[in-house]
Chains A and B, each alone.
Chain A
């Protein structure tokens, strides 16, 4: 059952081929058996999951099941889940049981899904390798010497290893797409504002967006149907009708205009990754698409602009962890200042501290205009690059990451690690949607094809990804787990 897509699982449940309890039990057993190798879960909610599965089976027997009723999935540990530890991968929140559900959790629970547990992640979503987690690194199911990518590395590894049929992730600079690419699964970052951020622990509020990570584009469509929509509790969520994302999956691609940003095929791109991506694009040509070269001239400025904007927003968002209302508190504080300083120093990891310091510095008096304002101006230019490109083409395609998964401990220098996100970061700055789709292997490691569309173009992106998955079988490959 662990090699089934969500769509197939939903069919199997509807036909009575298996119950939600059997299915849930199967995934829980796999987590128990295999996850010590990957460390993809921080918390497994087995008992609760079985209770939910039984409720879904009862509902189905009464003829009240929806399409996702009884379907198991996992949440990145950044989504608040009521009465369940929500750690965000940090010692700071190791003892934090969220008092409420994130809106997307609420919606997916209403749809009848079964929460298997909370997946590992880079601390506060700050990382590209899942090595900054307080709970230890996650290992890539294709090769445990390699990282799974980050920050949604636990979600990606769990799905790739067949420990969950799908999982939720969040993407601030590539944190859904890059781990999806490294682990050989499909991951969608929706348009900023498409999915509510309420109850999703904030890193950089103008960039953060939650999205589905699954075995296929069709599965992402099923999940996005349940996740998307306006939320009065998130003032940045967009009030705009949600289409049925599964309806347009089968539209033919004849006449599709694909743009290849030349900046995404330049220096630093691994040859093996480029080869796989170009082969995928050739598949699209055989499906009737045409390809033209385009330019996104401000691409090289995306990583620098991001490393001003994201840490600035993070330094503000993370000021809430003060050792007073929730989270870690140091022992025997001398006074209030000591309580703040020591609680934060003890409970934040190195990368989080670095970003808080950078953000605080660039926002401080005398530096604001040179850094934050400048970065926001460059952000507009970056967005304009995409708006101009989408005047000429329907979608953009390129690699999701410059290399395949790298070895644990391989990128000790923070700037080296930041440059890993060179093809994903601009998309968050522009607020547009992007999806990473498995497009083959290089030396045994999966390669991700990234497809980008204009704001609110998710239905079309999913259609374009689905058609590729009808013509290829890369997305069906799973690592052998002896």
Chain B
């Protein structure tokens, strides 16, 4: 399956990755070659084969719904670009 200029821009938007038209043109070439290689999978007979998400077929273990981690907000916010009074600051979202 080929990838078009519009597909690249759409993926970039979904991934919140700022790219311009010229970038997108370059990526069309790179990504097309990657997808061309990946397209070989279409020829593999996978009729009735269950997808494998985890190499050991493990299931997610459950634990009691109890808080086990201490509150370390200050330590975690020490590496944030912008915080105030315990909150993360971002540009205004609602006018």
Closest to B78 in A: A99
A358 near B31 with CB under 8 A, answer: yes
Q: Does B22 contact A (CB under 8 A)?
A: no
Residue numbers in B under 8 Å from A334 (CB-CB): 91
**Partner among B12, B41, B49, B91 whose Cβ is within 8 Å of the Cβ of A333:** B91
Q: Does A324 contact B (CB under 8 A)?
A: yes
CA distance A327 to B91 in the complex (A): 17
Residue numbers in B under 8 Å from A323 (CB-CB): 81
Chain B: residues with Cβ within 8 Å of the partner, total of: 52
**Contact residues of A between 410 and 462, Cβ < 8 Å to B:** 413-415, 418, 429-432, 455
Given A235-B61, A326-B80, decide whether A206 and B17 contact each other with a Cβ distance below 8 A: no
Distance to closest chain B CB from A334 (angstroms) = 7
**Partner among B17, B58, B88 whose Cβ is within 8 Å of the Cβ of A344:** B17
Between B31, B34, B42, B56, the greatest number of chain A beta carbons within 10 A of the residue's beta carbon is seen for B34
CA distance A345 to B17 in the complex (A): 5
Q: Does A406 contact B (CB under 8 A)?
A: no
B63 near A232 with CB under 8 A, answer: yes
Distance to closest chain A CB from B90 (angstroms) = 5
**Contact residues of A between 294 and 352, Cβ < 8 Å to B:** 298, 300-301, 303-305, 307-308, 315, 319, 322-329, 333-342, 344-345, 348
A379 near B52 with CB under 8 A, answer: yes
B52 near A377 with CB under 8 A, answer: yes
**Partner among B3, B56, B61, B75 whose Cβ is within 8 Å of the Cβ of A455:** B56
Q: Does B67 contact A (CB under 8 A)?
A: no
**Partner among B42, B44, B55 whose Cβ is within 8 Å of the Cβ of A430:** B55
A303 near B37 with CB under 8 A, answer: yes
**Partner among B7, B41, B60, B72 whose Cβ is within 8 Å of the Cβ of A304:** B41
CA distance A180 to B10 in the complex (A): 39
Residue numbers in A under 8 Å from B11 (CB-CB): 357, 360-361, 364
Closest to B10 in A: A364
* Interface pick from A261-269, A365-373, A390-398: A365-373
Residue numbers in A under 8 Å from B80 (CB-CB): 324-326
Q: Does A278 contact B (CB under 8 A)?
A: no
Residue numbers in A under 8 Å from B52 (CB-CB): 376-377, 379-380, 383
Distance to closest chain A CB from B89 (angstroms) = 9
Closest to B36 in A: A415
Chain A: residues with Cβ within 8 Å of the partner, total of: 74
CA distance A14 to B50 in the complex (A): 53
Q: Interface readout for B67-79 with A: 1 if CB under 8 Å, 0 if not?
A: 0000010011011
Q: Does B86 contact A (CB under 8 A)?
A: no
Given A357-B8, A371-B38, decide whether A95 and B79 contact each other with a Cβ distance below 8 A: yes
Given A324-B90, A339-B90, A380-B52, decide whether A301 and B15 contact each other with a Cβ distance below 8 A: no
Q: Assuming A300-B40, A354-B27, A431-B54, what are 13 further A-B pairs, CB within 8 angstroms? A: A99-B78, A99-B79, A206-B54, A238-B58, A326-B79, A333-B91, A348-B17, A364-B10, A375-B38, A377-B46, A377-B50, A380-B52, A455-B56
Q: 7 nearest interchain CB pairs?
A: A431-B55, A376-B51, A341-B18, A345-B18, A329-B81, A377-B46, A380-B52
Task: Report B's interface with A, CB cutoff 8 A.
Answer: 1, 3, 7-8, 10-12, 14-19, 27, 30-31, 33-35, 37-42, 44, 46, 49-56, 58, 60-61, 63, 72, 75-76, 78-82, 88, 90-93
Task: Report A's interface with B, CB cutoff 8 A.
Answer: 95-97, 99, 192-193, 206, 232, 235-236, 238-239, 298, 300-301, 303-305, 307-308, 315, 319, 322-329, 333-342, 344-345, 348, 353-354, 356-358, 360-362, 364, 367, 370-371, 373-381, 383, 413-415, 418, 429-432, 455
User: Please, could you name 10 A-B residue pairs with CB atoms under 8 Å apart, sorted by A?
Assistant: A99-B78, A192-B54, A307-B38, A319-B15, A324-B80, A325-B80, A341-B16, A356-B15, A377-B50, A380-B51
